[in-house]
Each structure stands twice: as structure tokens, then as C-alpha cells.
Amino acid sequence: MNKFSLYTLLILIFLGLSKSFSPSSKRTDHIVNDRVFSSYFKGAPVSVVLLDRFQAGFLIKTYYFHLKIMHVFKSPETVTIRVGKKLWEKHKDNLGMSIFRREERNGKEYLTPMPPGILFVGDPSFGGWEYHASGAKQWKFHRAYRKFPTLFYWGDFRPSYKFYQRSKTYEENQQPFYGLYNEFGSKGEITKLILQSVESKEFTPPSETFLEHVKIYLSTPPWSN
């Protein structure tokens, strides 16, 4: 076998193995960047929370987001989508955060990462401010929306008026807001203790092993039909 034939064979083997070690890309929608969120997520009000981010593939990496889409008048839904590497890396600190929101009244949209549920805080349609025993104002949802704190994985946390004001300042400056004491996000205590422990039971990323891919590769060549 001459060198040219050997090189050709090695290239074909590499491409075949690379394809085998790459996860299927036909099962999920593909979003390259967050500018696509506006057309992808329908309805209003809507808040999209990042539950998990993971990558799959041995030689060729594919990047995924596992998202929870929060609506008001219907049950939340979860979706898994493929995303571009830059978008995947951009949100490495934003687990448990709302990464896209749309208001109902004016259709205004936001891409700045914020604590989950922030879209509904401060809106009299969903609740109101009450004085806490400490003397500080605290947000309370109307009875019809009493399950919202559970859906947002707040636990015992309830937004204070100071929390709300600070979030608005950060949002206007297009800066991520992780709470007054960094309670939210990938490193936040609320996210760690509540979101991850709950969602780990609801969602398991696809597992891929070397032997599984070798078996597929040997039984059905990637370039055949």
C-alpha cells in the first residue's frame, strides 16, 4: 500500500470515527445565538430559565441548553436545544437564571440574565408589596399565582423591594444580576440547593461511552445508508 492510499484510508477512518463520536444533531433544534430567542419563544408574558448546559461528543463537540419555558396561563414546558459554542460559554455562570423574557403589555424583550421570576415581580397584575415583620417591603403573589415561587425554585426566598430596585438598575445597564448577595446563578446558594437538586431528578443528559460508539462504528459504517 503506497503512502497516498494509506493517508486516504487514515482520513476516512478519522472522519468516520469523528462522525460516530459526534452526537446526533437531528433530534433537537439549533440556535446559534440569543438573537434567535425572540422568534423561537412565542407568546407573552414568557420567561425562559436555563436549567442545565452540557456538551456531548467525543471528537466533535455539540453544545446543549436544557430550558424551562414559563408561561402564565399554561403549564411550564422544558426543551433541550443545540446552541452555538459562544452562546454556551456566555451562560456558564447563569444556571437557574432567566436568559430571555418578554412582557405582555408592550412586548418588550430582555436578554440580560436575571433571577427566575423577575419578570413578574413588581407587576400589580401578579401580586403586590407587603410589609414584612422586619419592616421591609416584600413581594407576594396573588392567590391565583401562589405556585410561582415553587416554579421559580425560590424555596423560602421572597424578593424585597430593595432586591427589585437593584434588579431594575442592572437590567437598564444590561448587566446580569445575581441577587443582593449573589444567591442566584451557577454559584448561587439558592440555585445550588434548590434548582440543581430538583432538576437532576427530572433531566439526565444523554450518556455516551467509547464502547457504544465503537460498536455502532463497526456494525454500521457512518458513510453508508
**What's the rounded Cα separation, in Å, for the pair 72 and 45?**
7
Mean pLDDT, residues 142-148: 94
**What's the rounded Cα separation, in Å, for the pair 188 and 176?**
13
Tell which residue, 195, 182, 28, has the closest CA to residue 113. Answer: 182
pLDDT digits (tens, 9 = 90+) for 4-47: 666 666 665 655 555 444 444 446 789 999 999 999 999 999 99
Lowest mean pLDDT among 8-17, 48-57, 182-191, 205-214: 205-214
CA dihedral (28, 32, 34, 37) positive or negative: negative
Q: Please, what is the angle between helix 210-219 and helix 3-21, to 10°?
A: 120
CA angle 134, 137, 142 (to 5 degrees): 120
Q: Average model confidence (pLDDT) for the chain?
A: 82
Bridge-based pairing of strands 137-141 and 127-131 is: antiparallel
Backbone phi, psi, residue 81, to 5°: -130, 150
pLDDT digits (tens, 9 = 90+) for 51-94: 999 998 777 789 999 999 999 888 899 999 999 999 999 999 99
Contacts of residue 19, Cβ cutoff 8 Å, sequence gap at least 6: 60, 222, 223
Place of cell 478519522: 14
**What's the rounded Cα separation, in Å, for the pair 119 and 46?**
8
The residues facing 64 across adjacent strands are: 54, 82
